[in-house]
Amino acid sequence: MDKLFQSLLTELRRGSLTLAVLSQLWDQKYGYSLVQSLDQLGISIEQNTLYPLLRRLEKQGLVTSTWDTSENRPRKYYQLSQYGQEVYHQLKKEWIDQTEKLNKVLNKGDVEDEFS
C-alpha cells in the first residue's frame, strides 16, 4: 500500500516539477540556490532529478545558462529564455485550468462520499 502510494505520488508530482522549476528562473539562479528557493516554498525535489532536468531544459531551449567565474568557485547560472517565458505562461494557464476542473470533480466526489 505505502509503496503503491509513493509511486502514485511521484507520478502525480512529475508533471508539476518542470513548471515549478521554470517559475523560479525569472532571475538567474545556480543549481543549489534553486533547490533552496524551491525548498523554502515547500516544494521538495530530489537533486538527482533537478540537475539533469535543468540540463534538459537548456537543451530544449527553455533556459539559458552562463558560467560565472568571478567568484572563487565557478558557478553555472540558469535563467528563462524568451521562448521559455512563453512556454511558462502557456503551461501556467493550462495548470490553473486543469486544477480548477479537477477541484470541481474532487469536491463533487467528496459530497457523494458523505452520502454513501
**Which residues contact other proteins (rule: CB under 8 A)?**
30-33, 46-49, 51-53, 55, 67, 73-76
Residue 79 Cβ vs other proteins, minimum distance, rounded to whole Å: 15
Candidates 52, 55, 43, 51; CA nearest to 17 is 43
Residue 37 Cβ vs other proteins, minimum distance, rounded to whole Å: 13
Q: Which is nearer to other proteins, 13 or 85 (CB)?
A: 13
C-alpha cell at 37: 528557493
C-alpha cell at 45: 525535489
Q: Which is nearer to other proteins, 49 or 85 (CB)?
A: 49
Do 50 and 34 contact (CB within 8 A), yes or no? Answer: yes
Residue 67 Cβ vs other proteins, minimum distance, rounded to whole Å: 8
Q: Which is nearer to other proteins, 78 or 88 (CB)?
A: 78
Residue 80 neighbours by CB under 8 Å, 6+ apart: 22, 25, 26, 62, 63, 64, 88
